[in-house]
């Protein structure tokens, strides 16, 4: 099988690109690192890739709002090229800051014709949080979550609270299986009463990740690339973790999609 190629998009402030590329390569892909300026000058590099990944970090120092500057660049310079990339049956992944960027483009995730359907804003407690969370997956549609029911991953963000424009947007996302990842308790339950620290940022409906209607665009606040080896787990010396970290499954699913 020819290894799928992953384009890791970088910008000033991006700081999880190498870890994310390593995770994809460990899963069987080939990673290339492309700066946003290079991509805006020549979008042909997209044609040679099967996966576009926006990694975590603090693009442009989170000036104005997290992910806003890079999202504006993509909206004004790359909307057509990325739409063509997606229409060709390819995958797009946004992790943490990458999720913020996907949301704030207004045309990638989620998308409708009435403006910005949702946003990611400041955590309820108003500060940066760095911890581990339990997550419930809906694998009905999302390519990256195939055969995943529950997963445990680290988070690190200040603006991770998902807020929908209105109840109708939320209802549509839920009925269409686009609420792909939600915060939950260790036993997998995640009712409306979920609160801190189980829902670490106050996200509406406990939302931690959303996919597109196609299931091929996925954004999530947790960092799967930070748990690809058993030793990444904070209790790896006390609790058996298996042969690989739980985050590896997301990257393997992306690679195997092209198998």
167: tokens are 């109840």
191 pLDDT band (50/70/90 cuts)? confident
The helix, strand and coil proportions of the chain, stated in percent and rounded to the nearest 5, come to 30, 25, 45
Q: Which of 121, 15, 116, 115 is nearest to 66 (CA)?
A: 121
Average confidence score pLDDT of the chain: 96
Say yes or no to pLDDT of 1 above 70.
no
Return the higher-pLDDT residue of 116 and 222: 222
Q: Are 33 and 22 in contact (CB under 8 A)?
A: no
- What are the tens digits of pLDDT across the range 129-143? 999 999 999 999 999
pTM metric for this prediction: 0.97
d(CA 128, CA 111) in angstroms, rounded, equals: 27
3-state SS, residue 153? strand
Q: Are 104 and 71 in contact (CB under 8 A)?
A: yes
Say yes or no to pLDDT of 114 above 70.
no
Q: Which residues are catalytic?
A: 96, 223, 225
Name 218's bridge partners: 93, 211
- What are the tens digits of pLDDT across the range 42-78? 999 999 999 999 999 999 999 999 999 999 999 999 9
First to last CA, the chain: 7
H helices within the chain, ranges in order?
Answer: 17-26, 36-41, 68-77, 79-87, 97-105, 167-175, 248-256
Q: Which of 160, 152, 136 is nearest to 226 (CA)?
A: 152
Q: Are 93 and 99 in contact (CB under 8 A)?
A: no
What is the CATH architecture assignment of 5-256?
3-Layer(aba) Sandwich (3.40)
Q: Which of 119, 126, 93, 66 is nearest to 212 (CA)?
A: 93
Q: Which of 19, 92, 16 is nearest to 49 (CA)?
A: 92
226: tokens are 């930070």
Q: According to the model, what pLDDT value does residue 110 have? A: 86
Phi-psi region of 96 (alpha: psi -120 to 50; beta: other; left: phi over 0): left
Q: Are 233 and 241 in contact (CB under 8 A)?
A: yes
Average pLDDT over residues 106-111: 87
Spans of all domains in the chain: 5-256
């Amino acid at each position: 099988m020819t290894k799928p190629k992953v384009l890791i998009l970088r910008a000033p402030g991006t700081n999880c690109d190498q870890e994310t590329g390593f995770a994809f390569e460990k899963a069987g892909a080939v990673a290339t690192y492309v700066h946003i300026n290079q991509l805006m000058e020549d979008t042909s590099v997209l044609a040679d890739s099967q996966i576009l990944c926006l990694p975590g970090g603090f693009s442009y120092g989170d000036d104005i709002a997290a992910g806003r500057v890079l999202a504006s660049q993509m909206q004004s310079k790359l909307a057509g090229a990325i739409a063509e990339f997606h229409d060709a049956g390819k995958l797009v992944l946004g992790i943490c800051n990458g999720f913020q960027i996907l949301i704030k483009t207004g045309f990638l995730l989620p998308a409708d014709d009435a403006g910005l359907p949702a946003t990611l804003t400041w955590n309820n407690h108003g500060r940066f949080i760095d911890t581990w969370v339990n997550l419930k997956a809906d694998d009905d549609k999302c390519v990256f979550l195939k055969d995943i029911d529950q997963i445990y991953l680290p988070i690190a963000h200040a603006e991770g609270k998902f807020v929908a424009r209105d109840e109708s947007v939320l209802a549509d996302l839920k009925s269409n299986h686009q609420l792909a990842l939600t915060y939950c308790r260790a036993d997998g339950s995640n009712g409306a009463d979920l609160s801190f620290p189980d829902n670490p940022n106050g996200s509406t409906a406990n939302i931690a990740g959303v996919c597109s209607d196609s299931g091929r665009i996925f954004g999530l606040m947790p960092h799967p690339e930070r748990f690809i080896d058993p030793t990444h787990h904070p209790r790896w010396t006390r609790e058996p973790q298996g042969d690989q970290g739980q985050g590896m499954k997301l990257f393997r699913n992306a690679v195997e999609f092209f198998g």
